[in-house]
Amino acid sequence: MNAMVEEIFATEEKDILQEVMNIAFGQASADLAEVIDIFVVLSVPNIQVIQGRDLPKYLLEEIHSSGLVNIIEQGFLGKFSGQALLIFPCGAEKVLLNLFNQGAEAVGGCDIDVDTLELETLMEVGNILIGACIGKIAELLQDIVTYDPPRLIAQDFSLEHPKCCPIDENSFAISIRTVFRFEQEDVEGYLFLITNQRSIEWLKKALYAFLESFE
C-alpha cells in the first residue's frame, strides 16, 4: 500500500480492507473455476490510492508490458460504485477464444469474422471475471451491485499513450489490482477496480460492519 492509502484509511481500516479483498478474490477464483471449468489463479490483491491524473502513469508502471493491450471497461453501481478495468496484452484474446470455444456455437452466428469473435469473447470472459470479483466484494460488505455492459474502450492500445483512461484528474481512485492466470494457458490479465470518493465513506462503515459480524 502506498502513502496515500495512509492518508485516507486508518491502519485498522486498511487491514480490514486488505482481508476483505483477500477473501473476495479468493472466493472469486473458486466461483470462476466452477463456472468456466478452468483453474484460475488470482494474485493477492494490491490496494493503492491514486490521484486521477497519475492513473495512466500508474497503469503503465503496474503492467510490465511494453506491448499493446486491450482494455475492457465495465461500470458497477451499488453503494460501492466505480469502474472495473480489465487489461489483457494483445494476443490473449486468441488464447481465450480457444479456452472458451463454446462461444463459437452461438445461435445466430456463423458469418462472424475472427477478429470480432475474439474481441467479443474477450468481453464476455471479461464480464465473468469482473462480475465474480465485484460480486464477492459486494456480498461480503452486504451490498448489491448492478453492472453496465462491458465495453472495449481500447484496442491494440499502447499504454505509453498519455490519456489512456479518462477519469477525473482531480478525484482520487482506490485501485485494487490483481493479476490472474489461467493455469493451463500462459495468459495473464490485470484487473483494476477504480472507485470514487463517494464510495469511500460507505466503504469505511461497511468494513467495520464486516468485522463486527464476527462478534
Partner 1 sequence: MVKSILIVDDSPVARMIMKKCLPESLGITIIEAKNGQEGVEKYQQHQPDLTFMDLTMPVMDGFTALSLIKAINPQAVVVVATADIQEKVLQRVEDLGALLTLKKPPSKQALADALKRAKEALAQVRS
Partner 2 sequence: MIFDQIFETINSGLIVLDRDMKVCHWNRWMAMHAHIASEDIIGRSLFEFYPELNRPHFLRNCKAVLAFGHFCFFSQKLHKYLFPMAPVGSLVDHFEQMQQSCAMGPLRNEEGGIEKCYISVQDVTEVVLYQKKLVQLTMTDQLTGVYNRNFMESQLSKEIDRCQRYQHDLSLLMIDVDLFKTINDNYGHPCGDFALKTITRRITANIRKTDFLIRYGGDEFCCILTETSQQDAYIVAELLRKSIADTPFEFKDRIFSSTVSIGVAGLNSDDKHLECLLKKADEALYRAKQSGRNTVT
Q: Give kind and range of the element (H or E) at residue 129.
A: helix 114-140
Segment near partner 1 (CB under 8 A), from 35-43, 98-106, 110-118, 166-174? Answer: 35-43
Partner from partner 1, partner 2, none binding residue 23, C-beta < 5-8 Å depending on class? partner 1
195, HSE (Cβ side, Cα atoms, 13 Å): 20
Q: How far is the CB of 105 from partner 1 (least distance, A)?
A: 26
- Site mask, partner 1, residues 39-58, x = CB under 8 A? xx-x-x--------------
Strands in the chain per DSSP E: 40-42, 46-51, 68-77, 82-89, 146-147, 151-158, 172-182, 187-195
Long-range contacts, 208-211 (Cβ 8 Å, 24+): 208/13, 208/16, 209/141, 209/142, 210/16, 210/20, 210/140, 210/141, 210/142, 211/16
Question: Which residue in 19, 23, 147, 157 binds partner 2 (CB under 8 A)?
Answer: 147
Q: How far is the CB of 1 from partner 2 (least distance, A)?
A: 29
Residues numbered 1 to 30 that lie near partner 1 (CB under 8 A) are: 15-16, 18-19, 22-27, 29-30
All three cell numbers of 142, joined, read 452486504
Q: Does 209 bind partner 1 (CB under 8 A)?
A: no
Three-state secondary-structure class, residue 61: helix
Partner from partner 2, partner 1, none binding residue 152, C-beta < 5-8 Å depending on class? none
Contact residues: partner 1, CB under 8 A:
15-16, 18-19, 22-27, 29-30, 33-34, 39-40, 42, 44, 140, 183, 211, 214-215
